[in-house]
Amino acid sequence: MRGAVAAGEQPTDEVRAALAASPSMDGLDLATHATVARQYSEGSPVARRHIVAYDYGMKRNIVRLFLQHGCRVTVVPAETSAAQVRDLKPDGLFLSNGPGDPAAVTYAIQTLRQLADGTLPIFGICLGHQLLGLALGGETVKLPYGHRGGNHPVRDLETGQVLITSQNHGFAVRGDTGGVPGAKALQVTHLNLNDGTVEGVKHREYPIFAVQYHPEASPGPHDAQEHFRQFLQALDTQ
């Protein structure tokens, strides 16, 4: 919902006009504005694992967690091409969180469609999860009520475990336990126990997976940080 905060007891005509002119979130690409201006790297140049991370509005703690696991991380702008990513010779590809309507980030969807061919392990969160779903043939929907804050219960469909997660999103990948319509290659792995929306997917053949919530959340909950280790294990088996 759009809104405005202004001084005074009643909104002025100027405030009403500014509110009316503010863009709707539907169809709004904000990743272009939230991304980094240029590529940068952190971590030891002789680290055993090299992660290329797409920054669509990425949280700093994501880089910090990869560094703690002994990785070198190269962060790239949202519009970096598939060829540029491959030239960096990564061991794995990370797709970050970010704001806006995922369906509007068309350049990223096209790029990920090229990269999700099984040659690279891929791990996405939040917006990265939605973009991966779109790249592989699914669709996203705007939620009537977005998921905000901590304490969102999410069930791991394989183990039955319930994770208490941190979330901040207004869109979701359309699907259910039967799968993601239009994306036959994707299997639904996690569901939100409050409204039944998709919270995680994985590729049926390739080492590609993504979650809608924030496993890097700090401070807590930390229930889902195991996903980072899962991704790094996929790198070691390639």
In the chain, where are the structural domains located? 25-236
Helix (H) or strand (E) holding 71: strand 71-77
> 68 burial class (0-12, 13-18, 19+ CB within 10 angstroms)?
exposed
Query: Of 129, 199, 216, 227, which is the active-site residue?
Result: 216
Q: Which residue is associated with the tokens 């390739």? A: 206
Reduced to 3 DSSP states, what percent helix, strand and coil does the chain have, rounded to the nearest 5?
A: 25, 30, 40
Check if 226 is active-site.
no
Question: Rounded distance, CA 111 to CA 20, Å?
Answer: 34
Strand partners, 49: 71
Check if 71 is active-site.
no
pTM: 0.92
Query: Of 126, 129, 147, 190, which is the active-site residue?
Result: 126
Query: Of 50, 169, 214, 227, which is the active-site residue?
Result: 214
Given a cut of 70, the residues of the chain with pLDDT beneath it are none
Question: Which phi and psi angles does 96 have, rounded to 5°?
Answer: -85, 175
92-95 vs 49-55, strand pairing mode: parallel
The CA–CA distances, whole Å, from 214 to 75, 110, 124, 153, 202 equal 18, 24, 10, 12, 16
pLDDT at 25: 83
Check if 126 is active-site.
yes
Question: Rounded distance, CA 132 to CA 130, Å?
Answer: 5
**CATH code, residues 25-236:** 3.40.50.880
Q: Give the ranges where 82-181 is alpha helix by DSSP (H).
A: 82-87, 106-115, 127-135
